[in-house]
Amino acid sequence: MAASGGTKAVVAALAANLTIAVFKFVAWAMTASSSMLAEAIHSVADSGNQVLLLVGGKKARREADAEHPFGYGRERYVYSFIVSIVLFSVGGLFALYEAWQKFQHPHGIEGKWWWVPLAVLIGAIIAESFSFRTAIIESNLVRGGQSWSKFIKTAKAPELPVILLEDLGALIGLVLALCGVSLTLLTGNGIWDAAGTACIGLLLVAIAIVLAVETKSLLLGESATAEHVKLISAAITVKGAKLIHLKTLHLGPEEILVAAKVSVPQDATGAQIADAIGDAEARIRAAVPLKCVIYIEPDIFGAVDKAAAHTTERA
């Protein structure tokens, strides 16, 4: 569900941004507004980012091979990290550079096309609102009772948080651009246009940093959610089994690696141990709605405690 929902949100955002970018470039060509140029580049950067997310999703579906035995699921994280870099450099830094240039040589918006930026920005706000609405609807299907900030921080599928932050940033940026252009038209002072551009740049840099931090954590390897870890532990510790330790790792948004050491009775036969492990794997897969790669290591009940005691005595 998360993958299909994320793809739907990405496609909706891509369609909106490509259309908006064209109109923003037209408005910039007619008025030389730096806010319009910054917003146009912002839309181009967002469109490129959405293409990257789609490419990453496609590459992540490749089957595991000898070189990558656990598959390519984490490739979605790689492309999401690239998105944060593009947003920071192409979107944020360009807008700040354009603002600096405009502060050095401010000029108002004149001529018969003065109204074009206002019309484009208002239309863009409407279009971006529909894209943002789609991202919210798709996110609500998997968000559960989490707050929005916690959802963005803990989500294992990167597409929805990326699109949510991009669309939110786009809407705020459009409002900032509208304020800058409006004040420039009212006062005839291009400083307001430059100020709007600078605010857009700072906004994009901040969003890019948040995305980079969260995606870096996924790239390094995050464990399963606390809820899933609890379900896995419960699935293992039945029929007197004792969980010695458990480690989990997301191999991709919808796949986790489960490694556990479990105690077994000292008099258990090899067949009994094999059956117990098979049953535990089946219970884990039934309890967790994700694809699981499971490795369970049996140990003799009490052996770990005895080894720890022996080490203490020697010390």
Higher pLDDT, 314 or 297: 297
Structure tokens at 254: 């919808």
Mean pLDDT of 261-268: 85
Assigned architecture for domain 2-220 = Up-down Bundle (1.20)
3-state SS assignment for residue 296? strand
Give the percent of the chain with pLDDT over 90. 16
Task: Tell me the C-alpha distance between 232 and 215, whole Å.
Answer: 25
Q: Where, residue-wise, is CATH 3.30.70.1350 in the chain?
A: 226-312
258 pLDDT more than 90: yes
94 pLDDT more than 90: no
304 pLDDT more than 90: no
- pLDDT tens readout for residues 15-29: 888 888 888 888 888
Task: Tell me the C-alpha distance between 79 and 59, whole Å.
Answer: 10
Task: Tell me the C-alpha distance between 293 and 181, whole Å.
Answer: 55
Q: Where, residue-wise, is CATH 1.20.1510.10 in the chain?
A: 2-220
pLDDT of residue 6: 66
Task: Tell me the C-alpha distance between 25 and 273, whole Å.
Answer: 68
For every residue of 241-286, DSSP letters joined together read -EEEEEEEEEEETTEEEEEEEEEE-TT--HHHHHHHHHHHHHHHHH
Q: pLDDT tier at 255 (50, 70, 90 boundaries)?
A: very high
- pLDDT tens readout for residues 131-158: 888 889 888 888 878 888 888 888 888 8
Neighbours of 55 (CB within 10 A): 14
Q: Where would I find the H helices in the chain? A: 2-31, 34-60, 75-86, 94-104, 116-143, 148-154, 159-187, 191-220, 226-236, 270-287, 303-314
pLDDT of residue 302: 57
Structure tokens at 262: 């479990």
- pLDDT tens readout for residues 196-233: 889 988 998 998 898 888 888 888 889 998 899 999 99
Chain-wide mean pLDDT for the chain? 84
Give the percent of the chain with pLDDT over 70. 92
What are residue 243's DSSP bridge partners? 262
Higher pLDDT, 26 or 306: 26
Assigned CATH topology for domain 226-312: Alpha-Beta Plaits (3.30.70)
Give the CA dihedral 250, 53, 15, 160, nearest 10 degrees: 20
